[in-house]
A and B are shown apart, each in its own frame.
Chain A
Amino acid sequence: MMRVTAGSASRGALAGLQADAARLSNLQRQITSGRQITRPSDSPTGTVTALQLRSQLKQLTQFQTNANDALGWLTTVDSTLHSMTSQLQQVRSLVLQGMNTGTGNAASNEALAQQVDQARASLLSLANSSYLGRPVFGGTTAGGVAFDAAGSYAGDTGTVTRTVGPNNAIDLNNPGTATFGPNGSNLFDLLTDISAKLRTNPSGLGTDLAQLDVRQVAITNEQSLAGAKYQRIQSVQNTANTNLVQLKSQLSDLQEVDLADMAIQVTSANAAYQAALATTAKVSQVSLLDFLR
């Protein structure tokens, strides 16, 4: 039979009390920090998963920023091309007027030509529209404009890309030459030609009208392309938002404490600790000496 001595009894009681106190303090640490994993060894696999989730979360947030930026860019493109289309409609009617008037009325044709010149200047400035300081039709040019004052392309053939999801990079632009035509025969050259022909040779406007229609179709196409990209990015964003919520809840499940569960655990740990304290205090007071005269 094992002897129970003053030393062994108090040592056992102390070890038990310390274990209870450690359990309480561990629970307290989790509650005050609000986290289940307060150090890596609390859950090695949980820690590594949490690190991965955090990295994904940061990346996804950055994708959202990229997508918002892309939407801003595409909005600029869309509204610019929209104004251009309506201005080109006006130019077209001016050309038709010129063709109808023919060579008969020089003064009237001069007025038409001046209107076309105005439209050209306005369209040129629209073609140089910029988003955050960058011309949206200039490719990746570091210069401030896509087309110079003479109307020739000053940008490059680089593409502006936004990564809106994992392996989902969207090209935002076509070089200005694709939309407005190659240097020498682009929209602005065409408008210069129209204005010259209105002044000198209105009967030759027929081919220009055909070319104008070609440009207009190209611009409308570009606008619908921008719209399609806008929609695509929005749908990616919606998916990403759902993902973001899921990732956050996964991370929260992994890292954060369940307060209700914690409250119950603390209550039971506290009760056990108090019971141990009370019993130890009562039992260790008693000895044979209390009962001897």
Chain B
Amino acid sequence: MTSSFSGLTNALAALNVQRYGMEVTGQNIANANTPGYTRQRAELAAVGPTAGVAALYATQHPNGSVTVTGTTRLNDPMIDGRARTEHGDNGYRQTTATVLSSVETLFDEPSDNGLAEQLNDFWNSWAAVANNPGDLAARNVVLQKAASLTSSINQSSANLDRLTQAVSQQASAATVEINTAAAALAQLNGDIAVASASGSNTNALADQRDALLLKLADLTGAQSTINANGSADVTVGGLTLVTSTTASTLSLSSGNQILVGGTPAGPAGGTLQGLVDGLTTALPGYAAQLDAVAASLASTVNAGQSAGYDLAGNPGGPLFAGSTAATLSVVVTNPANLAASGTPGGNLDGSAALGMSQLGSSTSGADAAYRALVGTLATDVQRANQQAAVQQAVTNNIDELAQSSAGVSFDEETTNLLTYQRAYQASSRVMSTVDEVLDLLINHTGRAGL
């Protein structure tokens, strides 16, 4: 038996529930553009008489009504996990491509001003001396070309150094960002544990947690595990970065190795790994190749010079000093001291200069070394760009999938709003109908004849 007024109570409960549904819909619409927001749904359940209990003893419950059992976050945990993996990979690929592209801009090839063309000009200036060994003007041109060649090589080396410093600074900045995010996650883990133990709604906290996990994945390719109470544990390169409310410190060693809590971590991923790879492999590799160009230039030219004789007939001395790209310099200042002659005695023989002019076509000389450098760089950049493009597409795809389950659709929300609105109107009608019935019972019953 239900009480006479249970109809009113039921209708009231229904009104409350439909209003709550409208509130959740309103929240979804309000947050449609909030980054990291996951749409929510009010979970409704019908409330009936307690089964299996004799009506006499049953609790007087507003049976035949509705209640809100919870508010669910409509994300897909599996897709979220995949998204974090792909984001870690994407951060790595994009950063690698950016670092390599920056190196590429330092070598302006093929062009009329690149190092290759300056080498050609340098060798050709020797041919002019070979034609006219007595002409000091032609010899001066050689010195000028040698000076501009060395300054270009010095400049390229300095640019590579500057780029290395910039990448190093970016890596430090990324480390700071990672540690900030890790500390924030540890604190959030505590908040989530408390909230979930006390039964409060943790949806907003979970959104914040997922945003932090995605950020950590982007930065370091962090692997994360979500615990039953909603807190998350994070590992980087096999070492624990965040567990429960404790966050370790991530840092870089002097040799640019990633350390978690002071221990060297395995290959991580993300932006940081891209920068670290640039610092430990790519940039030193190109610097070494540029050094090889400088060393080859200095050794072949100096060997050619010492085999020849200058204008006065004395044996030639070295034209270049230094054997690295940063230290290469021209040491001859008097054009008459360039060795153009192949025989002693101060004649106008040009065979040594002729030999110098042909060094450029050697398959093992500076030109070949430089072409190898440009070729390697070009291939590396092209591969990195292609990989970055592919990974970007994969990441966009998975992001779209994640959005597809967690994102807000206005059409859907509008439809839900209509449904709740209609249910609210109908419940109001139930309430007024019950009221009319009770009015009939209370005010108009037993008054026959009055």
Binding site for B on A (CB under 8 A): 2-8, 11-12, 15, 37, 39-41, 43-45, 47-48, 50-52, 54-55, 58-59, 61-62, 65-66, 69, 132-134, 139-142, 156, 158, 160-163, 166, 169, 255, 287-289, 292
Contact between A59 and B132 (Cβ–Cβ < 8 Å)? Answer: no
**B259: Cβ under 8 A from any A Cβ:** no
* Chain A residues near B132 (CB-CB < 8 A): 69, 132, 134
Contact between B361 and A40 (Cβ–Cβ < 8 Å)? Answer: no
Least distance between B446 CB and chain A CB atoms (Å): 47
Which of A45, A58, A255 counts the most B-chain CB atoms under 10 A from its CB? A58
Contact between A69 and B131 (Cβ–Cβ < 8 Å)? Answer: yes
Contact between B378 and A44 (Cβ–Cβ < 8 Å)? Answer: yes
Q: Residue A55 contacts which of B120, B128, B133, B350 (CB distance < 8 angstroms)?
A: B120
Binding site for A on B (CB under 8 A): 32-33, 101, 104-105, 107, 109-110, 116-117, 119-121, 123-124, 127-128, 130-135, 311, 341, 343, 345-351, 354, 357-358, 360-361, 367, 370-371, 374-375, 377-379, 381-382, 385, 396, 399-401, 403-405, 407-412, 414-415, 418
* Chain B residues near A289 (CB-CB < 8 A): 410, 414
Given contacts A40-B104, A44-B379, 15 further A-B contacts (CB under 8 A): A3-B409, A5-B407, A6-B409, A7-B407, A11-B403, A40-B377, A41-B382, A55-B116, A55-B361, A65-B128, A69-B131, A132-B132, A161-B350, A163-B127, A288-B415
CA distance A11 to B408 in the complex (A): 13
Closest to A289 in B: B414
Least distance between B78 CB and chain A CB atoms (Å): 15
Q: Residue B110 contacts which of A5, A6, A7, A54 (CB distance < 8 angstroms)?
A: A54
* Chain B residues near A8 (CB-CB < 8 A): 400, 403-404, 407
* Chain A residues near B343 (CB-CB < 8 A): 140, 158
Contact between B32 and A6 (Cβ–Cβ < 8 Å)? Answer: yes
Closest to B32 in A: A6
CA distance A12 to B403 in the complex (A): 11
Least distance between B386 CB and chain A CB atoms (Å): 10
Contact between B371 and A48 (Cβ–Cβ < 8 Å)? Answer: yes
**8 closest A-B pairs by CB:** A5-B407, A40-B378, A44-B378, A41-B381, A7-B407, A8-B403, A58-B120, A50-B110
Contact between B348 and A141 (Cβ–Cβ < 8 Å)? Answer: yes
Which of B105, B110, B343, B371 counts the most A-chain CB atoms under 10 A from its CB? B110
Q: Residue A162 contacts which of B121, B131, B382, B409 (CB distance < 8 angstroms)?
A: B131
* Chain B residues near A292 (CB-CB < 8 A): 414, 418
CA distance A114 to B335 in the complex (A): 48
* Chain B residues near A62 (CB-CB < 8 A): 124, 127-128, 357
Closest to A2 in B: B404
Least distance between A250 CB and chain B CB atoms (Å): 13
